[in-house]
Structure 1
Amino acid sequence: MTSRSLKIALAVSVALNVFALAAGGAVWVAREKVEQRVAEAQKPGRSEPVWDVIERMDPAVRDQVKQRLRASAMQARPDFEEARAARREAIALTGAETFDPVAVAALLERSRASEARGRSRLETGAVETLNQLSPADRKALAPILSRHKAKRDARKPEKAEKPIAPAPPAAAEASTRP
């Protein structure tokens, strides 16, 4: 072999090795994601989406359940919209030049109350819907009453709860400056 052919062979070998490492890394990352999803699915709580359970029900019952759950969701929608609007307003006030903690706290309280009112409407509608079903259908749909947050938790890395030290008041800082 000539020097040139050795160089070409070496370049091809390096390229193949880099490709193989990249493919191996992609497979490893994909496997980790699949394992994480499997672990999430095995956690207690809602094991599958409620709409999947509803789709497997008898068509006459399924349509009635969907209609009732949608109706209760539509009744709760204004409450959740009000909660989001109040929270957005609180965030905007927090970023303003002058900070009014009383107004921000009141907006956050209004947001929590609206969200609780909306959740109450959803749960009441779900209970009324469950009341109309057979015991087997009720058992299958019982998980709709859980407050499952696996999807939200999967997006956030777990952190140890650490208290945040309050910032010193501006007046105290001003009096200690030379």
Structure 2
Amino acid sequence: MTSRSLKIALAVSVALNVFAAAAVGAVWVARDKIEDRVAEAHKQGRREPVWDVIERMDPAVRDQVKTQLRAAAMQARPDFEEARAARREAIALTGAETFDPVAVAALLERSRASEARGRSRLETGAVETLNQLSPADRKALAPILSRHKAKREARKPEKAAKAVAAAASAPVRP
């Protein structure tokens, strides 16, 4: 074998080894992620998504529930759109050259009120729908009345209180 062919063989060998090491690393990382997902899915107290429960209901009841929940969502939609628009406007005002804290606070209050109105419409529609179901179906669909559990647990009351205190003590720039 010549010196040139040895160099080529060495380069090919190194390239294959690097590729193999990268593949092993990728499989190892992917395996850890999959194991984490499986463990999360099997946590005690975790429930399946409500829409999956609805899909397994009797077809006549399922269609009625879907129709009523969609109608409630459509009634609440303008409130949520108004809430998002007010929040976008507040963000835009915050980024303006001159800051008007009163106007920003008023827009945020309007956003919260619109969101609360929309949530109220959704919950009222859900309660009306649940009222028409059998006890077993009501029990299966009860989670539709909960809010986002993962987000709620992530925001512990102590953290929220600290954030409010920090915001209140922060200096206001003109």
- Over the aligned positions, Cα root-mean-square deviation in angstroms equals 2.6
Structure 2 stretches lacking a partner, 5+ long: none
Structure 1 stretches lacking a partner, 5+ long: 172-178
Q: Distance between the aligned counterparts of 1:77 and 1:7, measured in 2?
A: 68
Aligned partner of 1:101 in structure 2 is: 101
Percent sequence identity is: 87
Moved more, 82-91 or 24-33: 24-33
Deviations 1:54-79 (A, max 9, x none): 11111000000000000100111011
Q: Distance between the aligned counterparts of 1:122 and 1:109, measured in 2?
A: 20
Aligned partner of 2:4 in structure 1 is: 4
AA aligned to 1:38 is V
- 1 or 2, which has the higher helix percentage? 2
1:90 Cα deviation from its structure 2 partner: 0.2
| 1:1-178 equivalence runs, <5 A | 1-43=1-43, 47-150=47-150, 164=166, 168=171
TM-score normalised according to structure 1 size: 0.80
Q: Distance between the aligned counterparts of 1:64 and 1:16, measured in 2?
A: 59
Runs of 4+ displaced beyond 4 Å: 43-46, 161-171
Moved more, 136-145 or 97-106: 136-145
Moved more, 20-29 or 66-75: 20-29
Aligned partner of 1:176 in structure 2 is: none
Q: Secondary structure at 1:22's aligned position in 2? A: helix
Deviations 1:15-52 (A, max 9, x none): 11111122122212322332332243245666222211
Q: Distance between the aligned counterparts of 1:84 and 1:36, measured in 2?
A: 34
Q: How many residues in Structure 1 have an aligned counterpart in Structure 2?
A: 165
| CA pair 107-132 structure 1, distance change in 2 beyond 3 A | same
